[in-house]
């Protein structure tokens, strides 16, 4: 068991492509997506305690309202122990933005608690628990570049992208139950057969990647459903070199490749909207600093 506090990064993701194929018999949808981690990150600080305590600098994500609590209790159940840890989540990834912040926190909690509690579970065991927590969580156990299928949780590792600057724009407003709302808003014209994702997958290592080649099924309904998103989208499109694309179920947008000059231009164009522009980089597992134990 680790006696020192652990500081763990929880990296955000973007969806380079996301296509919805159709509705499944279990009520979910089949999707195909290319997931990519970026170095925008929350930080989890874990230490041994007599009971489970989860705190966050976002007051709405304390205790059992944080997915980290669920991740900790599921891992403890699998290990046959009582959950005993103090976990603090320092948020930097915008909440409910389509950047996988909560999923990243859950994945990092599983990784950190596996070490803190001295469980020695294999990554495959952690991935099976992660699949119970959300479709993005299995991917975020390892990160990098991957193809997601099924509900998005059937992960196939792809060759790592080179480090690329990415502009991420997070609007200030989201909506409750956004993902179900977006799925309900899809019409037959929005569904596809995955050909765009297949083409992008085949070209990742042979052609320079730009958002001209990226796709997201949810873009049409997202512009209509999220308050102010169409205005933010149009401002980014006018100021950026490459077209903005929706990440996940939104409302975050991204453009790539990018630069600090472009971030400055876009930030100026977004004044008065409440949206925030970040310049981040794509991240491979080998570049992940991982768990940092400190006294």
| Rounded Cα gap, residues 134 and 229, in angstroms | 25
DSSP assignment of 84-98 equals -EEEEEE--SPTTSS
Other CB atoms within a 10 A radius of the CB of residue 119 amount to 19
Peptide bond into 251 cis (omega under 30): yes
Active site residue 288: no
Angle, CA 291 vertex, CA 286 and CA 295 arms, to 5°: 145
Q: What are phi and psi of 189, to 5 degrees?
A: -65, -20
| Per-residue CA distances from 247 to 97, 130, 168, 169, 228 (Å) | 8, 21, 9, 10, 16
Active site residue 13: yes
| Beta-sheet pairing, 85-90 with 154-157 | unpaired
168 and 99 Cβ atoms separated by less than 8 Å: yes
* Active-site entry in 105, 136, 153, 160: 136
**Start-end of H helices in the chain:** 67-79, 101-116, 123-130, 137-142, 178-185, 195-203, 219-225, 229-239, 260-269
| Rounded Cα gap, residues 292 and 285, in angstroms | 15
Q: Which one, of 286, 274, 218, 291, lies nearest residue 248 by Cα? A: 218
269 and 283 Cβ atoms separated by less than 8 Å: no
Give the distance between the most distant pair of CA atoms in the chain.
56
Beta-bridge partners for 45: 7, 88
Could you give the residue numbers annotated as active site? 13, 136
């Amino acid at each position: 068991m680790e006696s020192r506090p652990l500081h763990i990064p929880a990296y955000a993701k973007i969806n380079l492509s996301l296509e919805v194929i159709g509705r499944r018999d279990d009520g979910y949808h089949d999707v195909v997506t290319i997931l990519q981690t970026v170095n925008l990150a929350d930080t989890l600080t874990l230490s041994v305690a007599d009971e489970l305590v989860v705190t966050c600098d976002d007051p709405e994500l304390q205790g059992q309202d944080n997915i980290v609590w669920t991740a900790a209790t599921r891992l403890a159940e699998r290990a046959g122990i009582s959950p005993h840890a103090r976990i603090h989540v320092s948020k930097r990834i915008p909440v409910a933005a389509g950047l996988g912040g909560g999923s990243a926190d859950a994945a990092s909690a599983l990784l950190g608690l596996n070490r803190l509690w001295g469980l020695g579970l294999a990554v495959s065991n952690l991935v099976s628990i992660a699949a119970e927590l959300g479709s993005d969580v299995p991917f975020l156990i390892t990160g990098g570049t991957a193809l997601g299928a099924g509900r998005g949780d059937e992960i196939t590792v792809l060759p790592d992208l080179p480090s690329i600057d990415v502009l991420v724009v997070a609007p200030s407003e989201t909506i409750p139950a956004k993902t179900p709302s977006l799925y309900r808003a899809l019409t037959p014209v929005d569904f596809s057969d995955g050909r765009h994702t297949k083409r992008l997958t085949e070209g990742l290592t042979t052609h320079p990647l730009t958002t001209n080649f990226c796709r997201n099924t949810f873009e049409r309904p997202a512009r209509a459903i999220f308050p102010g998103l169409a205005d933010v989208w149009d401002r980014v499109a006018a100021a950026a070199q490459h077209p903005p694309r929706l990440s996940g179920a939104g409302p975050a947008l991204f453009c790539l490749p990018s630069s600090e000059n472009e971030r400055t231009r876009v930030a100026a164009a977004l004044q008065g909207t409440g949206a925030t522009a970040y310049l981040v980089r794509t991240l491979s597992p080998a570049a992940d600093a991982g768990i940092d134990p400190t006294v």
